[in-house]
A = this chain, B = another copy of it.
Amino acid sequence: MRKTTKDYHHGNLRNALLGAAISHIEEAGEVSFTLRDLAKKLGVSSAAPFRHFPSKRALLAAIAESGYEQLGDVYAELDSSFPNDPGECFKRKGVAYVQFAITHKAYYLAMYHPELNDKSEFPALKAAGARVFVSMLATVEACREKNLLSNFSAEQITLTIWSVTHGLADLLINGQLAELGIASTEQAAIQAMEAVSMVVGAGLQKNPKQP
């Protein structure tokens, strides 16, 4: 932490690399940084990053893991806030997902980068991702026990809400909507909330159709 006069050692290179990478992703709107650029920007040699991450993918995985942890924390917070109202918790988790994507663009892009589709090399990342999914699943189960949902299975409902929120987030973040004149991110974010509410509302009505 303390700065020495002669800084052969950077002192905090690992975090600095993460920060620089996140900044770059945020500004570029895509995962396109190079290790050499990060190193140059931080005033270290191009081999230095490899002292802290075994590969470029590992650096990306660290960002993604942090992202899942932050989202998991948001979900845990919601669980605490609505211990007896799973219906409300359900809605808020859906909205929170889209909001997280918009407000943490760089993390989101890392979390769903194709390079990390296979997470077997990064158990901690995998666990952090599973935590988020399980949290949502638990809320849906709780809704189910209170008969707040239709006859669809908990997994099916979880999958559906995850699909809407993830799909919307993906379209927003990757600029598919802007190309089609669906206005700004802010405008789309509002539509996002309403779209989510629409689906959630459908699920929250008693609707005893055949599964």
Contacts and interface: CB of A to CB of B under 8 A. Distances in A.
A11 interface: no
By secondary structure, the A interface counts as helix
A155 B190 CA distance: 13
A116 B104 CA distance: 21
A209 B194 CA distance: 12
Residue among A129, A163, A164, A188 with max Cβ neighbours from chain B (10 Å): A163
A184 to B, nearest CB: 14
> How many protomers of this protein does the assembly include?
2
A180 B133 contact: yes
22 contacts: A112-B170, A112-B174, A112-B176, A114-B114, A114-B174, A117-B174, A129-B176, A133-B180, A156-B194, A156-B195, A159-B171, A159-B191, A160-B195, A162-B167, A162-B171, A164-B199, A166-B167, A167-B168, A194-B211, A199-B202, A201-B202, A202-B202
